[in-house]
Structure 1
Amino acid sequence: MNVAVVTVGDELLAGRTTNTNATWLCERLAERGVSVERVTTVPDRITDIARVVNEYRAEYDAVIVTGGLGPTHDDVTMEGVAAALGRSLEEHSGALAWLEDDGYSRADLTEGTADLPAGARALHNETGVAPGAALEGVYVLPGVPSEMRAMFESIEDEFSGAETYREAVVADEPESALLDRIAVVRERFAVAVGSYPGESVRLELESPDEEAVTDAAAWLRERVETPE
């Protein structure tokens, strides 16, 4: 299963807010064997949201959109997703019933709070107010991290893939000096190799074949200089 993550918010693009949602989602999806192939941040602008969601839903198995839910003037994500799917926004009776069960009356709610793309499945917000939505492989989650995480956990069983095994080897050598051994390990073992330089170089081995990862890591450790 491959997925694109779209985070919405002018504050993310301005650097006022750290995009922890994207990092958390990528980690959780990777743990489930899902390949995240795009992470894109767009402004609070209906046309940008609609264009990116429409493009990605044609390319990937699912698109997860976070941020921009709620009743304020810049919360336009639902409208953008509805435009991408060619749907109108309609008050969702199920979402409204959840909110009323949580103690909110219609008078308490700002107009539009329970509006979702027509035909969408409502995703209940266990820790906040604004509901999420799922439709045609597009999942819309809140931007508040605690709300986003709780909502994702309620649907995470819908995201799955082959289990992936990983192991790291740390080399106390320049990255350029390791190129020959990286080439050999990629040729000899069915693993992907990532190289991440810093004070040392961390070589990360990854494969759906656990034995291949173990064997490749053992082979490398015998052939690189490791920190003392």
Structure 2
Amino acid sequence: MDAALVTVGDELLAGDTENTNATWLARELSERGVDVRRVLTVPDVAAEIADAVREYAGRYDAVIVTGGLGGTPDDLTMDAVATAFDLPLEPNDLARADLERTLEAIAGDYPELDVDIEAEASLPAGARPLINDAGLSPGAVVENVYVLPGIPGEMQHMFEAVADEFAGDVESRLLYTEEPEANLIERLDSVRHRFGVEVGCYPDREAGHNRLKLRSDDPDALAEAFEWLRAAVDLVEPDA
């Protein structure tokens, strides 16, 4: 299974907000064996969101979109996803019922909260609603596109409800060395070509070592590559 991530928000592009959602989702998917092929950040522009969703939905097994849900003028994601699939937005009964329950439960704490329930509960026609137990705005699944909130706590909570729908065969193994990155090039090229695995070298200046990561959807090739590289490189413990 491969996937793409689309994070939405002018505040991400301006550097006002750190894009922790992309990092968190990429890690979660990778741990499930999913091959994350793209991470894209787009502005709060409906046409650009729709273009990205349309393109990635046709290229990857799954697309996760975060951000831009709610009732403010810059919350355009759900409308853009509907546009990407040529679907109308329509109120969803399950999303509306959940919103009504949530608003009733918090009415005492937020007596002046004014929410357009009909608009907030509108999803692309035929979409599967994803209930937001940690907030207000519902998410949705439209074909292979998962639309999640941008607030990290809400996004993470909603992803956990669908996490079992993401699985793949990509595995990884790690090695650590204090050898300079430039000195490793020939051996890293050799292990990649010999065993057909992906290999990356990631310097950690603070820890004083390089992290070598091998990835493959072939467990036998990965094991052979790992043993070959382990014998070819001067290794250290990861906490060294």
**TM-score, length basis structure 2:** 0.86
Distance 1:216 1:193 in 2: 10
The Cα shift of 1:15 comes to: 0.3
- State the shift of 1:191 in Å: 2.9
State the Cα deviation string for residues 125-184 of structure 1 (Å, max 9, x = none): 01000000111111110000010011111111111111x332222222222221221222
CA RMSD of aligned residues (A): 2.1
In the TM superposition, 1:74-89 aligns within 5 A as 74-89=74-89
Q: Percent identity?
A: 52
- The aligned residue for residue 172 of structure 1 is 178
Partners of 2:224 and 2:55 lie apart in 1 by 40
Quote the Cα distance in structure 2 between the aligned partners of 1:117 and 1:168. Answer: 42
- Cross-structure match for 1:64: 64
Aligned length: 226
CA displacement at 1:86 relative to structure 2: 0.6
| Residues 64-213 of structure 1: pairs in structure 2 closer than 5 A | 64-104=64-104, 109-111=115-117, 112-162=119-169, 164-199=170-205, 200-210=209-219, 212-213=221-222
Determine the structure 1 residue equivalent to 2:40.
Answer: 40
Return the TM-score normalized by structure 1.
0.90
Are the aligned partners of 2:65 and 2:148 in contact in 1 as well (CA < 8 Å)?
yes
Select 2:229's aligned residue among 210, 220, 226: 220
User: Whole-Å Cα distance in 1 between the matches of residues 182 and 133 of structure 2?
Assistant: 50
Question: What is the correspondence of 1:13-28 to structure 2 with a 5 Å cutoff?
Answer: 13-28=13-28
Whether the 8 Å CA contact 1:3–1:36 is kept in 2: the answer is yes
Q: What's the CA shift for 1:83?
A: 0.9
Q: Does the 8 A contact of 2:6 with 2:41 survive in 1?
A: yes
Specify the code of the residue in structure 2 equivalent to 1:60.
Y
Gaps of 5+ in 2: 106-112
